[in-house]
A and B are shown apart, each in its own frame.
Chain A
């Protein structure tokens, strides 16, 4: 087998495996988990009728959404109205291509495309996600969806700045934009927010933890804003906008928006895990070159960490109230932007003492 065809076959296997075995089931069960978590927080039972403990609920939901009437408003711009939900799902799924979700399995690196602009690729594709919402809001030709779309474009553009600035400290240390290099650096020097892993006797490393935690907090909050999750779900604020950009959508098109939100949440969590929580690394577990069983364990560790971050997302959603829109914009521009900027200088001052 030539190296090229080997590369193509393994890449296809990885794409199909990660998409259909991991991401899409994770999206549908994230909806189920969200309902269960919200039920637990509000002291309810949550879905428990379909299957044992309600575990078949996502499948029932899928059939329900497929069988609903697919309605297109007469005043809508039909082509863009149909295009928008697809644009909302695609970027979230494409982003996972550069995230290393495991070490190696049978000598094949567990990342679909290890490009040298890794994190920029994530930002670039994530920034395309706004089109799905904006076009959906505009094409519906209705007041509330339009306001939701406008809000979302302003919000996502504003928080992209904090998002980009918050990760610069990480790459000041790694010296490379490749996401696999970020994971390798963390295996050698300890996770960015946990200095007790690796050479914990270096006092500068403990000092570095403070700006790293600031960086992590700003990045996570910006991810909340980018994925339109509460407390930043202004584009779909039910009480103000009657549902926001997806008000006019029904059936499978509505559920595509829904799935897009959860897919964005999963890829966002995957990026957080890769940048700050050591990716697939867990102290004491060797990488995939020591046997395929460890390769599988690495993948499981990665997705377990992602699941923990997703749980945190849901916990926040059912705990905090929503921001007012002007507060949201002021927070992004006058608070997180400056913190992220100052943070870069702090880390740059510490970096010479680390190497």
Chain B
């Protein structure tokens, strides 16, 4: 993968990720999150993980965020008022973020394969859809089915809760 493209998409993901938090208008925040997801998907694809990348777009950008926007627009949320900044809370947040960053950095810097940035890829012939399917349905079939039942239970629960009682 070309480092040039990596920097473009990494910057895109990070800038719009920050815009999600900074924007005061909820619609603008949601759309920034969509762009951030698209940048992340591009990063996955540039690592030849086409399946993960495209599922990122299909599920998060194409379905979940559309529902988010749908709800935000239906509730007709106004842009939030600019609040006074609580300096103590801000300092705490920055400290926690810095500690997490330091931990991630210390773990990654000790990994063997992290010494070689932009390593050569496995090649275009890898059929990642087939590989993921094989691993999911052969090695992890039972957990996969259990997750499916869990999601179904959650769906039925939501339908039941939002259903109006017949008079």
| A34 contacts the other chain (CB 8 A) | no
Question: Which residues of chain A from 152 to 190 have a CB within 8 Å of any chain B CB?
Answer: 153-154, 156-157, 160, 176-177
25 interchain pairs, CB-CB under 8 A: A80-B31, A115-B50, A116-B50, A116-B51, A116-B127, A117-B51, A117-B129, A120-B55, A120-B58, A124-B55, A124-B61, A127-B66, A128-B61, A130-B66, A131-B31, A131-B34, A135-B31, A138-B69, A146-B73, A150-B73, A153-B69, A153-B70, A154-B70, A157-B63, A176-B130
| B22 contacts the other chain (CB 8 A) | no
Instruction: Report the minimal beta-carbon distance from B69 to chain A, rounded to whole angstroms.
Output: 6
Chain A residues, Cβ within 8 Å of B130: 176
| B54 contacts the other chain (CB 8 A) | yes
Q: Is the Cβ of A134 less than 8 Å from the Cβ of B73?
A: yes
Q: Is the Cβ of B128 less than 8 Å from the Cβ of A128?
A: no
Chain A residues, Cβ within 8 Å of B58: 120, 123-124, 127
A171 closest partner in B (C-beta) = B129
Question: Given contacts A124-B54, A130-B62, A146-B73, could you give 9 more A-B pairs where the C-beta distance is less than 8 Å?
Answer: A80-B27, A80-B31, A117-B54, A123-B58, A124-B61, A125-B57, A150-B73, A156-B66, A160-B62
| A149 contacts the other chain (CB 8 A) | yes
Question: How many residues on the B side are at the interface (Cβ–Cβ under 8 A)?
Answer: 22
Q: Is the Cβ of A138 less than 8 Å from the Cβ of B73?
A: yes
Give A285 to B81 CA distance when docked, in angstroms.
67
| B5 contacts the other chain (CB 8 A) | no
B45 closest partner in A (C-beta) = A115
Give A310 to B127 CA distance when docked, in angstroms.
34
Q: Is the Cβ of B31 less than 8 Å from the Cβ of A150?
A: no
| A121 contacts the other chain (CB 8 A) | yes
Q: Is the Cβ of B73 less than 8 Å from the Cβ of A127?
A: no
Chain B residues, Cβ within 8 Å of A131: 31, 34, 66, 69
6 tightest A-B CB contacts, nearest first: A127-B62, A124-B58, A124-B57, A117-B50, A120-B54, A117-B54
Q: Is the Cβ of B51 less than 8 Å from the Cβ of A120?
A: yes
A119 closest partner in B (C-beta) = B54
| B67 contacts the other chain (CB 8 A) | yes
Contact of A128 with B62 at beta-carbon distance under 8 Å, contacts A80-B27, A117-B129, A121-B54 already known: yes
A156 closest partner in B (C-beta) = B66
Q: Is the Cβ of A150 less than 8 Å from the Cβ of B70?
A: yes
Which residues of B come within 8 Å of A, CB atoms?
27, 31, 34, 50-51, 54-55, 57-58, 61-63, 66-67, 69-70, 73-74, 127-130
Q: Is the Cβ of A160 less than 8 Å from the Cβ of B51?
A: no
Chain B residues, Cβ within 8 Å of A124: 54-55, 57-58, 61-62
B126 closest partner in A (C-beta) = A116
A114 closest partner in B (C-beta) = B124
Give A121 to B67 CA distance when docked, in angstroms.
20
Q: Is the Cβ of B61 less than 8 Å from the Cβ of A116?
A: no
Chain B residues, Cβ within 8 Å of A80: 27, 31
Instruction: Report the minimal beta-carbon distance from B35 to chain A, rounded to whole angstroms.
Output: 11
Which of B34, B66, B69, B127 has the most chain A CB within a 10 Å cutoff? B66
A139 closest partner in B (C-beta) = B27
Which of A116, A156, A160, A176 has the most chain B CB within a 10 Å cutoff? A116
Give A121 to B50 CA distance when docked, in angstroms.
9
Chain B residues, Cβ within 8 Å of A177: 129
Question: Which residues of chain A from 95 to 146 have a CB within 8 Å of any chain B CB?
Answer: 115-117, 120-121, 123-125, 127-128, 130-131, 134-135, 138, 146
B128 closest partner in A (C-beta) = A116
Give A236 to B31 CA distance when docked, in angstroms.
23
Contact of A116 with B129 at beta-carbon distance under 8 Å, contacts A123-B58, A124-B58 already known: yes
Give A212 to B150 CA distance when docked, in angstroms.
32
Q: Is the Cβ of A149 less than 8 Å from the Cβ of B66?
A: no
Chain B residues, Cβ within 8 Å of A135: 27, 31
A129 closest partner in B (C-beta) = B62
Chain B residues, Cβ within 8 Å of A154: 70
Give A172 to B58 CA distance when docked, in angstroms.
20
Chain B residues, Cβ within 8 Å of A115: 50
Instruction: Report the minimal beta-carbon distance from B44 to chain A, rounded to whole angstroms.
Output: 11
Q: Is the Cβ of B66 less than 8 Å from the Cβ of A134?
A: yes
Which of B61, B62, B63, B69 has the most chain A CB within a 10 Å cutoff? B62
Q: Is the Cβ of A150 less than 8 Å from the Cβ of B67?
A: no
